[in-house]
Structure 1
Amino acid sequence: MSYIREEQSKMLVKEAEKAKAEGRSLSKVFECVAEKTGRKKGSVRNEYYSILKKAEKNAEFRKMMCVGDLKTEKIIEFEKAEARSLVKKILIGATFGKSVRRAISELTGDPKTALRYQNKYRNMIKHKRREVEEILGEIEKTYGRAYDPYRGTSGDETLEKLKSEINGLYARISEHARKENERLKNSVRELKAENERLKNRLSEYAKTDKSVQNYFEKTFITTEKRGND
């Protein structure tokens, strides 16, 4: 491994550690590192998992790359009945005008699980056509119609356009809410850090300034009294 490649790999691991601590997705890490290094996101992702696999078997390599607590997650396979039920729920949602993405988002609020569902749905559509067509038959028997992923829905063009716009609006609102939630969480973290910093500074002043020390004691006693009341 060249020095430049080694440094890029260490940066990737460091960013992944940071993302894990902050609860961010690895996908964003791969995008960020790809942008910084001029590589493809998929290439960065493959290297990341390659590093973790090697680190699991080689303690010296693990130490050199500063892998820490990072580890590959065990792939949870779908049971046949579970996969069939999942695809049926998504297709029912699509039958009633929802996009596949929206149908999946209503099944789970977890991004990782949503991606897992999406991949399984696509895999079933691509490789299990006979089984999917059986599911479509069940949906049509129950509801009188069914969304056909192999042909798309048919019907009034205006209605289809409206459905598409509604689904697009839903996706934009969801994304906006996610970003706003992330912004608020960051603000809370910053405020907590600033509060801690100010407390530490006041504590230092209290050691040399009697008036500050009296203020602290008075505040503590008042707060304690309120708590007891």
Structure 2
Amino acid sequence: MTTTLITGANKGLGFETARRLVAAGHTVYVGSRDAERGRRAAERLGARTVRLDVTDEESVDAAAKTVEAAGGLDVLVNNAGIEWRTPDGVVPGAAELTAVTLRSVFETNVFGMVRVTHAFLPLLQRSAAPVVVNVSSGLASLSREATPGSPGYGYPGVAYPASKATVNMLTIQYAKALPGMRINAVEPGFTATDLNLNTGTQTVREGAEIIVRMAQVGPEGPTGGYFAAEGALPW
């Protein structure tokens, strides 16, 4: 039985990924900042729940101990993430960027991912087929963002794509350092979720496809890659 933890799984892409992996036979932990929301989501899914705030060291360490005591972990999906928008839904551009804003986005999207990965790494290293999926974004592709006409070229924000570009680099370095694991970054596509105020153009079912696929790669599968549903993406 494969045991999987998904951060930020009480809604959106995390919830849909959990639903699909439960259906595939995984024992899934719904990681959620809010314990009650996580409990309700897990009940709907037939999953387990664990309170996990990726920005809180004590919360992450406690979650790791809970999962370890229950038998360990095979798959980690680093899904929790935030985007910076004004209350009226506008994505501010580079001229409005401040260090405070950048730090707040990186705290969840980058430091949170590292915090969770570090805490659960000892459990993953005991698995016969450990897998890590880091939910990135097409906006993290430097080559695409620098090419007029490419998908996402017109996106004005800085903090979110910069954080996800960092996730991509971390994915590469983790994969090189841990060749016994399958560690990849994925681009779900512009999916309608709370993160973008449900302005995305595809459903969570569509967006979760690549996450679910990469969560199920075997020991001979790819590692250190950056993938969308249609295939590998340029860095």
Asked which structure has the greater RCO (Cα within 8 Å, sep 6+), the reply is: 2
TM over 0.5: no
Structure with the larger helix share: 1
Structure with the larger strand share: 2
Give the number of the structure whose alpha-carbon radius of gyration is greater: 1
Q: TM class, shorter-chain normalised?
A: under 0.3
TM-score, normalized by length of structure 1?
0.24
